């Protein structure tokens, strides 16, 4: 299983930006049981999004990556979704490039601190939204 995931990740990374998700979608379309896999990706995406939304007010669980994973899984179930992810990747590369460089230069403790801070801010925002609608 891990070998398969590593191989998939390497193939995905080798693809040029703006075409990676479409190529991944096309590779999956050529596999046996493609329709079943599409349904599974779509269903898993919905489950991950629901779990992310339900766990958003809980401070310890990082819900943002869970929701993003669900959106990506759902998008991979359709050609239009794959195209949208490719478009989004190209558009977000430029504004996020300085942040990516900064992230790569951070020591491990800095990455952990930023991750904890981000999770705390997301939990605080989620709790704020909860209190806004609960009252």
Domain ranges of the chain: 2-134
**Reported confidence tier of residue 108, pLDDT bands at 50, 70, 90:** very high
| Residue 135 confidence (pLDDT) | 66
Whole-number Å distance between alpha carbons of 86 and 81: 9
Whether the pLDDT of residue 32 is over 80: the answer is: yes
pLDDT reported for residue 1:
65
Residue 15 has a pLDDT of: 82
């Amino acid at each position: 299983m891990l070998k398969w995931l590593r191989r998939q990740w390497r193939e995905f990374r080798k693809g040029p930006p703006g075409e990676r998700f479409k190529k991944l979608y096309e590779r999956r379309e050529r596999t046996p049981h493609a329709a079943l896999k599409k349904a599974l990706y779509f269903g898993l995406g919905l489950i991950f999004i629901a779990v992310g939304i339900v766990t958003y007010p809980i401070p310890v669980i990082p819900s943002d990556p869970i929701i993003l994973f669900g959106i990506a899984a759902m998008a991979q179930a359709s050609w239009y979704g794959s195209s949208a992810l490719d478009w989004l990747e190209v558009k977000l590369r430029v504004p996020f490039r300085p942040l990516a460089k900064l992230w790569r230069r951070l020591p491990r403790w800095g990455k952990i601190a930023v991750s904890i801070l981000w999770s705390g801010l997301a939990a605080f925002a989620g709790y704020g939204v909860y209190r806004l609608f609960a009252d």
